[in-house]
A and B are shown apart, each in its own frame.
Chain A
Amino acid sequence: MSTKPDIPDERRRAILAGAAAAGVSLGLPTGPAFAVDGFDRFMARSEALTGVKPLDRTIGRSLYKLLNANGQVDYLTGYRPAGRSPAGRNEQVEISIISAWYSGVVSTAGDHRLATYQDALMWQQLDFTTPSGLCGGDLGFWSNPPKA
């Protein structure tokens, strides 16, 4: 389960910035995991993992929310916390983040939630075609290799 307080990211960032400036403690967990805003950290990690930069922040918010709902927040915000991560969990989280960006869907134990379809990275990266369900072009375009 998440230990993150239920505070919107923007609001929390402001609080943290203010807290740092004032040098006061809000009772939040301290240390590297929470020194930087969770969403920004998520986006940075996502760009590093997916190999695509910049990633869309609106889609990122949806994915971040869905991934957090899966109870993975500790691993997203406190990425690779030293000594606290069971073996293999970081890798699983990385694969979850990559899968979510490429497919546009967050899947956990048979539960599938869609953040985006047409703008999923799979279609952006498969620049030789269009998302399944949308017209790809005139009759017969599929007969030849895609135009470079």
Chain B
Amino acid sequence: MRHLALHRGAAGSMDGGSPTGPDRQNKPRILLVDDYPGLVMAFSRVLAPFFDIVGHVADGAEVVSAVSRLRPDVVLLDVNLPEVGGLECCRRVKAMRPATTVIMLTAVDDEAVRDRALTLGASAFVAKHSAVDELVSTIQRALTP
């Protein structure tokens, strides 16, 4: 069974542990794109101490408008999205707003997908089963000029 109903297509702010006030302004802004709400919530919780989670999107077709509206520094993008896939989303985001850092998240670390993602402008490619420390450091490295 798929659990998409809660967040599909919605781009909203996360309040699960996300800091508020002046702190937020100093943290890189992250947009999460994944169609599994449980994973979005878990990522939001563990990334909140380091980044400002500005929103989440479950539907690939909504990614470009969410990027345009929320102006994140980083889009954390699942490869395997239904309908409009993650790689196509990456291409669209980079075409519209090249300065946005795109980091692909994948359940299967596949060389062909990795190569394709990097060709399309993704800055990094992280397996979803990576440890949180690795995910955080990958994002930080990708943001380092």
A associates with B:
no
- Interface residues in chain B, defined as those with a beta carbon under 8 Å from any beta carbon in chain A: none
